[in-house]
Chain A
């Protein structure tokens, strides 16, 4: 079965702009979590969605937001981009909510560069 699909793979934006990233989970998975990965920081949890509801949120400013649609696809949005937002953004899909309850399958990520 198809894996987790993230689009786009690469993105270059200018400071102050906003960006929307997309994640399609594995078929049948209803939970999607988003992570930011920067060199030296490891993966930082952004938020998790299950059944179109945000279930948990990490310690990121309100410029980072997300949503989930009825088909479980999820989007995350970053407004007023800053240089420090340059990172690899990963999404992970799980069968059940709670990131650590079941095996998490990661997408290939979206590499965002803010100039």
Chain B
């Protein structure tokens, strides 16, 4: 069964600190992995998209890593800011016949950055 599991479920850190969010997946066949940031009551916004051959990808203070062998990904946030408070959703794209890919969503990690 295609699944995406994220940990921790929630996290509280102090402003300026770093943190790492985890994503484990059992999705086959794998097409790509995405991290989204979702502010409360808003739509998700894409942070990174990584294909099978990419190990790391950065977007400002956000750095995502992908280990396709162990089927794990992480999102590292450096020097956190209050505006980083949001839910972070790991999404894996599964490729199916005919070139039609489906998105498998994790439940998200809710991050709270405190001053």
Contact = CB atoms under 8 A, between A and B. Distances in A.
Interface of A: 4, 6, 40-45, 55-56, 88, 90, 92, 97-101, 103-109, 111
Contact of A107 (B43, B49, B94): B43
A98 B49 CA distance: 16
24 contacts: A4-B43, A42-B89, A42-B105, A42-B106, A42-B107, A42-B108, A43-B44, A43-B105, A55-B100, A92-B43, A98-B102, A99-B93, A99-B103, A100-B31, A100-B32, A100-B93, A100-B95, A100-B102, A100-B103, A101-B99, A101-B101, A104-B46, A108-B43, A109-B43
Interface of B: 31-32, 36, 41-46, 49, 89, 93-95, 99-103, 105-108
A90 B43 contact: yes
A97 B77 CA distance: 32
Contacts, number: 60
B44 A90 contact: yes
The 3 A-B pairs at the shortest CB distance, nearest first, are namely A100-B93, A100-B101, A106-B43
B106 A109 contact: no
Given A97-B100, A99-B102, A104-B46, 13 more contacts: A6-B43, A42-B108, A45-B103, A90-B43, A98-B99, A98-B102, A100-B93, A100-B103, A101-B31, A101-B93, A101-B100, A101-B101, A103-B46
